[in-house]
Chain A
Amino acid sequence: MVPLSAYIAVGAVLFITGLLGVVIRRNFIIVLMSVEIMLNAANINLVAFSYYLESMAGQLVALFIIAIAAGEAAIGLAIIIVVFRGKISTNVDEMNLLKW
């Protein structure tokens, strides 16, 4: 029997990995992929609590998170295409068009 804290630990490690990816990577697409890693870590936590606390609410929220992730990926990649069309590189340090 795997304890609940083991699942939570996996979720925490994955979340930290995704957070580091958002902070230290310079490619915009990899930053979006790291956000997907963080969403997956949250999903692991939700489904694990849903199983151990015997409630369906966690699985429902996990499904909604998957839908939100689909919308986020579509919008984010559309923004990347627009930026790339304007001959700006996908380096997040060089995207400062809105910076005051």
Chain B
Amino acid sequence: MVVVFFTYFALASIAAGVLTVSLRHPVHCGLALLALLVHVSGLFILLNAEFVWAMQVIAYAGAILVLYLFVLMLMNLKTDDRYFHSSYLYFLVPAVIGSLYVLALLVRSPFGGAKGDATTAVVLQDGDTHAVGITMFSDYLLQFEIVGVFLLGAVIGAIVLAKTPKPINKEHKA
């Protein structure tokens, strides 16, 4: 059953990613990106990461994507005739060949490593949100605070950038 869901989410997210890159109209690209984000969040559910799933749906699909669509519809872009870069085939062919090689290497690798202490049974005992919270506010407290300061800086920067500039010429004449 997990295999069926994994196959669906994986194929749908890859298809949505390709559509995001290749569709002509920017709003259609945004909607394909929405499909990609929702299907990737389905992969998170399969990996027992409910809190990351909730953040993906709330923050990514709910906030970031709405911001993209808002700016797209605010600017009312015209669709270019040539929406790809002029020499994109020179990038496309080596990228496809290289990615096939990397994929062959990845599928063959066993990916062994030192296991941590958060086994599936421990995580499922109190839920994933509990485990994430305990880890975030004990081992990762400094990173959490840094991200908070970073977001404050991003908010201030966005306000300063998007503010209507004052007319500078009057001050120069006076």
Chain A residues within CB distance 8 Å of chain B = 1-2, 4-10, 12-14, 16-21, 23-27, 29-30, 32-34, 36-37, 40, 43-44, 47-57, 59-60, 62-64, 66-75, 77-82, 84, 90-91, 93
Q: Give Cα distance in the complex from A57 to B49, angstroms.
A: 12
Q: Give Cα distance in the complex from A34 to B51, angstroms.
A: 24
Q: Give Cα distance in the complex from A18 to B42, angstroms.
A: 19
Interface mask (B84-127 → A, CB under 8 Å = 1, otherwise 0): 11001001100100110011001111010111111110010000
Pairwise interchain contact B67-A25, C-beta atoms closer than 8 A:
no
Pairwise interchain contact A12-B106, C-beta atoms closer than 8 A:
yes
Of the candidates B64, B85, B162, the one whose C-beta lies within 8 Å of that of A81 is B162
Pairwise interchain contact B33-A43, C-beta atoms closer than 8 A:
no
SS of A interface (majority) = helix
Pairwise interchain contact B2-A69, C-beta atoms closer than 8 A:
no
Pairwise interchain contact A60-B136, C-beta atoms closer than 8 A:
yes
Chain B residues within CB distance 8 Å of chain A = 2-3, 6, 10, 13-14, 17-18, 20-21, 26, 29-30, 33, 36-37, 40, 43-44, 46-49, 51-52, 55-56, 59-60, 63-64, 67-68, 71-72, 74-75, 77, 80, 82-85, 88, 91-92, 95, 98-99, 102-103, 106-109, 111, 113-120, 123, 128, 131-132, 135-136, 139-140, 143, 147, 150-151, 153-155, 157-158, 161-162
Q: Give Cα distance in the complex from A43 to B64, angstroms.
A: 16
Pairwise interchain contact A62-B52, C-beta atoms closer than 8 A:
yes
Pairwise interchain contact B85-A5, C-beta atoms closer than 8 A:
no
* A-B contacts at CB below 8 angstroms, number: 234
Pairwise interchain contact B80-A27, C-beta atoms closer than 8 A:
yes
Q: Closest Cβ of chain A: how far from B167's Cβ, in Å?
A: 14
Pairwise interchain contact A60-B132, C-beta atoms closer than 8 A:
yes
Q: Which residues does chain A contribute within 8 Å of B136, judged by CB atoms?
A: 60, 63
Pairwise interchain contact A40-B64, C-beta atoms closer than 8 A:
no
- A-B contact list, 22 entries, CB within 8 Å: A5-B106, A9-B103, A9-B107, A10-B10, A13-B103, A14-B17, A20-B92, A23-B88, A27-B83, A33-B30, A33-B68, A44-B43, A47-B44, A56-B123, A59-B49, A67-B147, A68-B147, A72-B154, A77-B71, A78-B157, A81-B75, A93-B85
Pairwise interchain contact A75-B158, C-beta atoms closer than 8 A:
yes
Pairwise interchain contact A75-B157, C-beta atoms closer than 8 A:
yes
Q: Give Cα distance in the complex from A47 to B118, angstroms.
A: 13
Known: A43-B40, A72-B154. 6 other contacts (CB 8 A): A23-B95, A24-B84, A26-B85, A37-B20, A63-B52, A78-B162
